[in-house]
Amino acid sequence: MADGGRDSRARASPPPAELSAQQPAQLVEELSRSNAAIKAENELFERFISRLNPKDLEPLAPTEPSIGMSQTEVSQVRSRSKSKSRSFTSEHLVQLTVEQKCYIAQQELEEMNKDLKRLHEGSERVIGNYKATIEEADMRLGEIKKAQYEFDREIAKPLREKKGVMMGAEKVNRYFEDRTRAKETLAEKLRLKNAALRVQKKKLQMQLKQKEEMDEALHEVDFQQLKIENSQYLEKIDERNQGLLNFKLLAGNALQVLNSYKKKLQNASYESSQLDSEISAQNEVLGKIESESLQAEEERAKAEAENQRLHSQLSEYHVPDVLEYVKCKASHRELEQGVRVWERKVEIAEMALQTHLKSWNRLKASSDP
């Protein structure tokens, strides 16, 4: 690989006399690019060599370059290498072929993919551990909040209400003793469950060992079948995830509609409360109007009775003497003036009654749905 770089530099370098002003910079840039490529190839080859065993290095030796070569080529190379092994020098190094370079690059690519896969698996394990830690912390936080709420409900709140101090201390002591017994019971249950899981784990390990001893490993056909089933299950999972996403969208739309209806209901409730207050106020006004109309009706009845009495007196009237006539005329004039005043009052009361009746009808019409 290094001889190829020297040959390219030898071919790319013209005589110094033929170089122009820009050619040295271009030549240096081309040489730097070629050196970078050669350096990358050398690093790639060194990584490939470092992963091989000493026995695997023999095919890559200058005398036997068998990577990516057929059996006939290997035999020819071995015959030539045996004949020229004594005259072999550093200037006649055997270079790697294009097939060998592609093979090395492919192996390096596979190794890089494996490393990436291992890193991905390791990062997934770390993320899973962090998620489990967060879930455990959330569970503990929930338990702490629950215990704090129960303690505040059973102990702190009664103590804040200034009950007996001695009874409060005894209650606190009894509360912590009950909690301790509950924790011990839970720990015993978890210990029994852990022991059962250990027994189950041993059984599964024994079953796995028996299967390995009986050589019941899956064949290639089984793996292909599992791959097909896995792809089918993945398709089903994608379909279910798509359905779940659609259901989430529907739920979001339904929630938006529900919120809009809630707002409308809130506005309608507010309007209903306002209308109730207005109706109550109008009912009060209507009650006042009805009482006033009844009073006016009573006054009108009294005025009519008085008017009838006066008319009966006028019908039964006989011509008196002059002085009596004058007196009667004056009293009659006063009575007529009183009658006009009462008639005017009756008209005013009737007008007020008509006004109140119209207001009442409008209120009835507005209150009816």
- Per-residue pLDDT of the chain (369 residues), as tens digits, is 444 444 444 444 444 445 566 778 888 888 888 888 888 888 878 888 887 766 655 544 443 444 444 444 445 444 444 444 444 344 445 677 888 878 888 888 888 888 899 999 999 989 989 998 999 899 889 888 888 888 888 777 777 776 544 556 777 788 788 888 888 898 898 889 889 999 998 998 888 888 777 655 555 566 677 778 888 888 888 888 888 888 888 888 888 888 888 888 888 888 888 998 899 989 999 999 999 989 988 998 998 898 888 888 878 766 667 787 788 888 889 989 989 999 998 899 889 888 888 888 888 888 765
Alpha carbon 112 to chain centroid, angstroms = 37
Q: Structure pTM?
A: 0.34
What CA–CA distance (Å, rounded) separates 268 from 232?
53
The residues, any chain, with a CB within 8 Å of residue 363's CB and separated by 6 or more, are: 282, 286
pLDDT at res. 317? 66
Q: What DSSP character marks residue 66? A: -
> In one letter, which amino acid is 55?
K
Asked if 367 and 297 count as a contact pair (C-beta separation under 8 A), the reply is no
Q: How many residues in total does the chain contain?
A: 369
What CA–CA distance (Å, rounded) separates 135 from 129?
10
Asked if 356 and 317 count as a contact pair (C-beta separation under 8 A), the reply is no
The CB density around residue 9, as the number of other CB atoms within 10 Å, is: 15
pLDDT at res. 234? 87
Secondary structure in 3-state letters for 149-204: HHHHHHHHHHHHCCCCHHHHHHHHHHHHHHHHHHHHHHHHHHHHHHHHHHHHHHHH
H/E run at residue 281: helix 220-315
What CA–CA distance (Å, rounded) separates 4 from 342?
136
Angle between helix 23-50 and 98-151 (nearest 10): 70
The CB density around residue 1, as the number of other CB atoms within 10 Å, is: 14
pLDDT at res. 68? 43
C-alpha dihedral over 243, 245, 246, 247, to 10 degrees?
A: 90
Q: Which tokens sit at 156? A: 């702190």
